[in-house]
């Protein structure tokens, strides 16, 4: 056992004395030590139930012959952090979570791990840690929130943000907003649409690191407690078979995850997180693959914000495995990949039928023949930019309009809510990238304000920042290179015509190369907005959005 390094032999007598201080018995020390990484806290609605999930995992581990020991991971609520300096501290926690979990797991020599995340950065952060530590590991999330109901319709957090925009436009009263406020988030759990948290929990199933239902069983269902117990049991089976994360998270597994991503219509944040997790697993996931995968993968689901269905509906329809079974009919998955069930992908999904073709379209009758995400390139994004194609109104798939340029999110929101953005405009928000923000803030407030003002089908938004999974419309993010390093988005001027052609994967500013070079010669880097603390260190180490915003030491010499 790996844990023998801290519990076996005369040299480890001091270590054992400290285990005695924890109240562990000799019988417990003779068993494998299983770290339970708990993301529980009392500020994130998706995490307030994780104490119960953790207790269920502990029971499962103990029943299967392990000794469970809990340690924590932090979590930020993106909804509460949205629209102010707090959002700069969201993406950056992904690496803090990975780093701190690596430290705890290796410092204490755990034999195996069960990861208990739920929200946006915890899932990829713990996947990154799992790949680094590479001991047998199983994931079990806290589960999605049930959809709210307002005036007889299902609603979610994106509806709430858009209600604020509608109030600013004068189309909704304060009483209407209050009703949304009280009803859109009715239970604990990760917000109820196919936003980033639920996207990543579903993709954890597709990668093979979570059990069936991990992404879709609602947080308030007792079935999730049973899932957590099974996760605890399963990690002991992984330990006995010595199946490790890098045996599961192979290049083929990441291709499966990308394929499922396209079919589900996941958050564009998956285009940051999948490359980052792959990087830790020793797999390079080239963004150029995305359009190739999208071209052959049908989009089968339109969950909120792209459509009127929610995670509870996907669960009832058969969940992620039912989507994967549909995809397998066209030979789109690598079915021989190993998973934490101890069986292959093909074995896992073979009997998982689609129980609701209105929620999961049959592969013969998809929403579209192409996937939910597209990568764009052009003189405005020489590396790449990303858009959730499945949430774009058909009339905005191709668009030209004048640039309305803002150097931060707050200025853009003031202009939108002040009625200074007109139909046809292209809102450009820059210096919000990984380095420039720093922290690559999500632009849910401006996209929701655009939708709430009735401009969702006529106004595009382009940023070197990123978008919440709750954003919809022609929202193009991750523009790389970002403005802070002199990317072309820094050279755009008010009134420049921007051309968007999502079907052709093109994003251009209609300015001559000579004019762009003349502007570049006069461009000066923006003064850093934050010069101390963790964010300044993050800005010094973070790479571009098209590389997953991974951290990298500066090159010497």
Q: Please state the rounded mean pLDDT for residues 360-380.
A: 96
pLDDT digits (tens, 9 = 90+) for 344-359: 999 999 999 999 999 9
Confidence of residue 337 (pLDDT cuts 50, 70, 90): very high
Listed in sequence order, the residues at least 6 apart from 357 whose beta carbon sits closer than 8 Å to its beta carbon are 365
pLDDT digits (tens, 9 = 90+) for 132-148: 999 999 999 999 999 99
Q: Please state the rounded mean pLDDT for residues 211-238.
A: 98
Tokens for 477? 């993010």
Closest CA to 209 of 145, 273, 272: 273
Averaged pLDDT score across all residues of the chain: 96
Tokens for 289? 């693959």
Is pLDDT above 80 for 555?
Answer: no
CA 109 from centroid of its chain's CA atoms = 29
Centre a 10 Å sphere on the Cβ of residue 106 and count the other Cβ atoms it contains: 14
Q: Please state the rounded mean pLDDT for residues 463-474.
A: 90
Please tell me the predicted confidence (pLDDT) of residue 43.
98
Q: Which has the minimum average pLDDT: 176-190, 216-230, 240-254, 437-451? A: 437-451
Q: Is the CB of residue 396 less than 8 Å from the CB of residue 474?
A: yes
Is pLDDT above 60 for 400?
Answer: yes
Is pLDDT above 80 for 88?
Answer: yes
Please tell me the predicted confidence (pLDDT) of residue 158.
87
Confidence of residue 557 (pLDDT cuts 50, 70, 90): low
Count Cβ atoms within 10 A of the Cβ of residue 170 and give its class: 0-12 exposed, 13-18 middle, 19 or more buried: exposed
Sort residue 193 into left (φ over 0), alpha (ψ -120 to 50) or beta.
beta
In terms of pLDDT, which residue wins out, 557 or 392? 392
Confidence of residue 472 (pLDDT cuts 50, 70, 90): confident
Catalytic positions, written as ranges? 468
CA distance 414 to 126: 36
Q: Is the CB of residue 448 less than 8 Å from the CB of residue 164?
A: yes
CA distance 229 to 428: 48
Is pLDDT above 70 for 556?
Answer: no
CA distance 243 to 237: 9
* Helices and strands (H, E) in the chain, number of each type: 22, 14
SS3 35: strand
Confidence of residue 529 (pLDDT cuts 50, 70, 90): confident
End-to-end Cα distance, the chain: 42
Q: Please state the rounded mean pLDDT for residues 426-449.
A: 95
Centre a 10 Å sphere on the Cβ of residue 231 and count the other Cβ atoms it contains: 26
Listed in sequence order, the residues at least 6 apart from 420 whose beta carbon sits closer than 8 Å to its beta carbon are 404
Helices in 350-457 by DSSP H: which ranges?
409-417, 444-452
Q: Please state the rounded mean pLDDT for residues 295-307.
A: 95
pTM above 0.85, yes or no: yes
Percent of the chain whose predicted confidence (pLDDT) is above 90:
93
Closest CA to 463 of 375, 551, 549, 381: 381
Is pLDDT above 90 for 86?
Answer: yes
Q: Please state the rounded mean pLDDT for residues 440-468.
A: 93
Closest CA to 370 of 307, 286, 309, 293: 293
Please tell me the predicted confidence (pLDDT) of residue 228.
98
Q: Please state the rounded mean pLDDT for residues 366-389.
A: 96
Q: Please state the rounded mean pLDDT for residues 201-212.
A: 98
Q: Please state the rounded mean pLDDT for residues 67-83.
A: 96
Helices in 362-475 by DSSP H: which ranges?
409-417, 444-452
């Amino acid at each position: 056992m790996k844990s023998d390094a801290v519990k076996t032999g005369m040299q480890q007598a001091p270590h054992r004395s400290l285990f005695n201080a924890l109240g562990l018995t000799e019988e417990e020390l003779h068993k494998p030590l299983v770290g339970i990484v708990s993301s529980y806290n009392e500020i994130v609605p998706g995490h307030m139930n994780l104490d119960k999930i953790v207790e269920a995992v502990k029971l499962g581990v103990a029943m299967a012959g392990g000794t469970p020991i809990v340690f924590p991971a932090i979590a930020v609520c993106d909804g509460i952090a949205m629209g102010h300096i707090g959002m700069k501290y969201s993406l950056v926690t992904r690496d803090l979570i990975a780093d701190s979990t690596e430290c705890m797991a290796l410092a204490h020599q755990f034999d195996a791990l069960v990861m208990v995340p739920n929200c946006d950065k915890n899932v990829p952060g713990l996947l990154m840690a799992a790949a680094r530590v590479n001991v047998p590991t199983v994931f079990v999330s806290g589960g999605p929130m049930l959809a709210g109901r307002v005036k007889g319709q299902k609603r979610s957090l994106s509806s709430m943000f858009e209600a604020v925009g509608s109030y600013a436009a004068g189309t909704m009263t304060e009483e209407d907003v209050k009703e949304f406020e009280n009803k859109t988030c009715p239970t604990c759990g990760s917000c109820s649409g196919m936003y980033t948290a639920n996207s990543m929990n579903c993709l954890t199933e597709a990668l093979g690191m979570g059990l069936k239902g991990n992404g879709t069983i609602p947080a308030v269902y007792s079935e999730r407690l049973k899932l957590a117990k099974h996760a605890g049991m399963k990690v002991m089976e992984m330990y006995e078979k010595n199946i490790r994360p890098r045996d599961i998270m192979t290049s083929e597994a990441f291709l499966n995850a990308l394929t499922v991503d396209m079919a589900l219509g996941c958050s564009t944040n998956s285009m940051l997180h999948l490359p980052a997790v792959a990087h830790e697993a020793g797999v390079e996931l080239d963004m150029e693959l995305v359009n190739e995968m999208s071209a052959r993968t049908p989009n089968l689901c339109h969950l909120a914000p792209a459509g009127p269905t929610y995670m509870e509906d996907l669960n009832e329809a058969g969940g992620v495995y039912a989507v994967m079974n549909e995809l397998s009919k066209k030979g789109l998955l690598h079915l021989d990949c190993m998973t934490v069930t101890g069986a292959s992908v093909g074995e896992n999904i073979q009997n998982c039928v689609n129980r609701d073709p209105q929620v999961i379209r049959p592969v013969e009758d998809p929403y579209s023949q192409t996937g939910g995400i597209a990568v764009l390139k052009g003189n405005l994004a020489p590396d790449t930019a990303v858009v959730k194609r499945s949430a774009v109104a058909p009339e905005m798939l191709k668009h030209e309009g004048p640039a309305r340029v803002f150097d931060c999110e707050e200025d853009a929101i003031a202009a939108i809510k002040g009625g200074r953005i007109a139909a046809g405009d292209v809102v450009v928000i820059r210096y919000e990238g990984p380095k420039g923000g720093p922290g690559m803030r999500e632009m849910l407030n401006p996209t929701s304000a655009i939708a709430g003002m009735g401009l969702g089908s006529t106004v595009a938004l382009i940023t070197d920042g990123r978008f919440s999974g709750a954003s919809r419309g022609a929202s193009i993010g991750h523009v790389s290179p970002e403005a802070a390093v002199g990317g072309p988005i820094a050279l755009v001027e008010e009134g420049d015509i921007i051309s968007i052609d999502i079907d052709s994967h093109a994003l251009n500013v209609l300015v001559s190369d000579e004019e762009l070079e003349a502007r570049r010669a006069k461009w000066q880097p923006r003064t850093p907005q934050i010069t101390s603390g963790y964010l300044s260190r993050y800005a010094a180490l973070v790479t571009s959005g098209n590389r997953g915003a991974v951290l990298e030491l500066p090159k010497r010499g």
